[in-house]
Amino acid sequence: IILTQNDASLVSSTKYDFVIVGGGTAGNVIANRLTENPKFKVLLLEAGPSDAGQLELQIPFLCTHTTPNTAWDWNYTTVPQAALNGVSISYPRGHVLGGSSSINCLVYTRGSKEDFDRYADVTGDKGWSWDNMLPYFKKSERFTPPADGHNTTGQFDPSVHGFNGRVGVSLPGAATAIDGRANAAFDQLGGEFQRTLDYNSGSPVGFGWSQAVIGGSKRSSSSTAYLAPQYLQRSNLHVLVNSKVSRILQTDTAGGLPVFRSVEFNLNGAASSTKVTASKELILSAGSLNTPQILLNSGIGSSSTLKSLHIKPLVDLPDVGENMGDHPIITLAWTVNSTQTYDDFNRNTTLQNQEIQRWKQTGQGVFVNGIAQHIGFVRVPDTSPIFSKVGDPAPGPGSPHFEIFLSNFLLGTTPPTGNFLSISSIMLTPTARGNVKLNSTNLFGAPIIDPQLLTGSTDVPLLREAVKSTLRLVSASAWNGYILAPVDGQPTATATDAELDMFISGSARSAYHVVGTSSMTPKNAKTGVVDPDLKVKKVGGLRIVDASVLPFVPAGHTQAATYALAERAADLIKADHS
Ligand SMILES: Cc1cc2nc3c(=O)[nH]c(=O)nc-3n(C[C@H](O)[C@H](O)[C@H](O)COP(=O)(O)OP(=O)(O)OC[C@H]3O[C@@H](n4cnc5c(N)ncnc54)[C@H](O)[C@@H]3O)c2cc1C
């Protein structure tokens, strides 16, 4: 049941087996799976509001309207980014039930087999390998016919998908004016643009139809999927929204280790805090930025840094908040000779409202689609000079270095007139590592976020390859008569590397795929924050289950990996308490 402010005393007087901090992508999976056992009493604490009834969170096309500067976003900003001409960039995170899965851009990509095999290698736990994780991808997924009911034969590989899980995943539900030309361009050019049946098979290289977290015509989030009414009816699940956890507290000592099973939270911004204690485990699922913030505020982190902030160090774990990995993204755009793009739906509120009515009444139309119709993954050849000094940052020879996706509109701020095609590239194998730290003047306010985007030695060269590849894609004759001109200031095929690099430093941003700030390392390793079973090192009673535990960002948008890791985590937790 979703509790209200009036139920605070019920929470204080209930004995919970598990308390989960953060009702986001991963946290709701854990809440759902643990309460499958009627003997477990679970409290889920979410800082943001409920997502119920919010159209912008439900309509796939409106995903770009959910952030920044909304009540559903933590509205974070990074520190100035040296490789981005010193600008501070907006860094959204979901602040609502469902977390970032309620506000993200819905793209469903898993990464490569080798990403997961590398997780297994670096943690010493084969459980994180692709072969072991594929059943968890399938367990979380409910592959669903697209809204327009078109024949999807040959557009995906059913053998790698789940059809009975929780999160709806679907191919595009409305055809767009660029579909035919995009497919023709892939086929004309071949090579790096070769098509693949399904990039979610573990071997992503190739281009195909986009897959998005859409069930029917609606966004499928961890809230709509894992906290659907039939699960919220469970009497052993209490969900408290508008409840911001400030820190966790040591409850006792076991086996020489401090045990942390209590949390302190403030309901609806109240000045006084409430405390609850889990009898079995506390699970932090506050995401890659807030999980380390909570740990640090609780005295778990680098002891010397904590001392300098006048926080009593309780557990020395210097890697808390370090090892941050994220994907840089850059979007190119062209004006096009068509009135069939989606730009008018972004700039004209009358048209937008008409389309919202159509979506509500029929579940059809433009708004059933997310941001991309086609997605492809490209691997830079092994012989590239980029790799000659430092080697290939990809986890293996079957993994891509960048992703390209096509949008039938200008992805970014829509100008008053014009029709556009956008092609965005995401550099998938960053070696830059950033960090998140407490803000010394406001420990519980926004943390200091520094992803250090594009500062790894192969980062700019690989993003430059992505831009070159995009320029080759638009050179296909399939676009003749359609693409008119690049938008102002954008490089063309004759640009030098120096010109491309200038464009990159002026235009690259984050794809918001931040991971790694509570990294998994082998049991007994001196580095890292959690063991491969996601238990926090050097303490008892505490696990972390969210994207922050992934030691490397996978070659894909990060929600699919987060769902799968949370599904496995739920099994690990259940097994420990069976
Ligand atoms: C704008 C945007 C677009 C994206 N687009 C895509 C995409 O298209 N495809 C894709 O796969 N991935 C995308 N991502 C990334 C993906 O959504 C995230 O990697 C993933 O959802 C992270 O899941 P999580 O469980 O780690 O954290 P989250 O889902 O962010 O959950 C953390 C939850 O904890 C809550 N919380 C935090 N601190 C506290 C506290 N102190 N007390 C109580 N609760 C707290 C938060 O409010 C939130 O609900 C996008 C992300 C963003 C921000």
- Averages of pLDDT over runs of 10 residues in the chain (578 residues) are 76 94 98 98 97 97 95 98 98 98 98 98 98 98 97 98 98 96 98 98 98 97 98 96 96 96 90 93 98 98 97 98 98 97 96 97 96 97 96 98 98 95 98 97 94 98 98 98 96 96 98 98 97 98 98 98 98 96
Q: Which helix (H) or strand (E) covers residue 135, if one does?
A: helix 130-140
Task: Please tell me the distance from the alpha carbon of residue 356 to that of residue 28, in angstroms, as a whole number.
Answer: 28
Q: Is 412 left (phi over 0), alpha (psi -120 to 50) or beta?
A: left
Model pTM? 0.98
Residue 304 pLDDT: 97
Residue 303 pLDDT: 98
Residue 271 pLDDT: 82
Beta strands in 268-394 (DSSP E): 274-284, 300-301, 315-316, 328-336, 374-378
Please indicate whether residue 285, judged by its CB atom, sits closer than 6 Å to ligand 1: yes
Ligand 1 centre from 547 Cα, in Å? Answer: 8
Q: Which helix (H) or strand (E) covers residue 16, if one does?
A: strand 16-21
Ligand 1 centre from 520 Cα, in Å? Answer: 19
Assess contact for 501 and 308: CB atoms under 8 A: no
Q: Which amino acid is at 467?
A: V
C-alpha angle with apex 85: 81 to 86, nearest 5 degrees? 40
Assess contact for 205 and 251: CB atoms under 8 A: no
**C-alpha to C-alpha distances, 443 to 298, 314, 315, nearest whole angstrom:** 11, 17, 18
**C-alpha to C-alpha distances, 94 to 99, 105, 221, 551, nearest whole angstrom:** 4, 12, 11, 21
Cis peptide upstream of residue 68 (ω within 30 degrees of 0): yes
Task: Please tell me the distance from the alpha carbon of residue 410 to that of residue 408, in angstroms, as a whole number.
Answer: 7
Task: Please tell me the distance from the alpha carbon of residue 31 to that of residue 236, in angstroms, as a whole number.
Answer: 10
Please indicate whether residue 516, judged by its CB atom, sits closer than 6 Å to ligand 1: no
Please indicate whether residue 325, judged by its CB atom, sits closer than 6 Å to ligand 1: no
DSSP 530: B
**C-alpha to C-alpha distances, 453 to 87, 431, 511, 542, nearest whole angstrom:** 11, 9, 10, 31
Ligand 1 centre from 189 Cα, in Å? Answer: 37
Residue 1 pLDDT: 77
Q: Which residues are catalytic?
A: 513, 557
Assess contact for 26 and 562: CB atoms under 8 A: yes
**C-alpha to C-alpha distances, 281 to 33, 220, 236, 461, nearest whole angstrom:** 14, 28, 15, 45
Query: Which residue is associated with the tokens 């999980």?
Result: 291
Ligand 1 centre from 282 Cα, in Å? Answer: 19
Ligand 1 pocket test target in 519, 558, 563 with most atoms within 8 Å of CB: 558
Task: Please tell me the distance from the alpha carbon of residue 502 to that of residue 296, in angstroms, as a whole number.
Answer: 37
Assess contact for 522 and 343: CB atoms under 8 A: no
DSSP 52: T
Please indicate whether residue 513, judged by its CB atom, sits closer than 6 Å to ligand 1: yes
Ligand 1 pocket test target in 11, 19, 100 with most atoms within 8 Å of CB: 100
Q: Is 63 annotated as a binding residue?
A: no
Q: Is 106 annotated as a binding residue?
A: yes
Q: Which two tokens stand for residue 490?
A: 């954008």
Residue 6 pLDDT: 72
Ligand 1 centre from 103 Cα, in Å? Answer: 8
Q: Which residues of 56-88 are buried (b: 16+ CB within 10 A; e: fewer)?
A: bbbbbbbbbebbeebebbbbbebeebebbeeee
Q: Which atom of ligand 1 is nearest to the CA of 98?
A: 49
Please indicate whether residue 244, judged by its CB atom, sits closer than 6 Å to ligand 1: yes
Residue 268 pLDDT: 82
Task: Please tell me the distance from the alpha carbon of residue 568 to that of residue 523, in angstroms, as a whole number.
Answer: 18
Assess contact for 329 and 426: CB atoms under 8 A: yes
Q: Which helix (H) or strand (E) covers residue 43, if one does?
A: strand 42-45
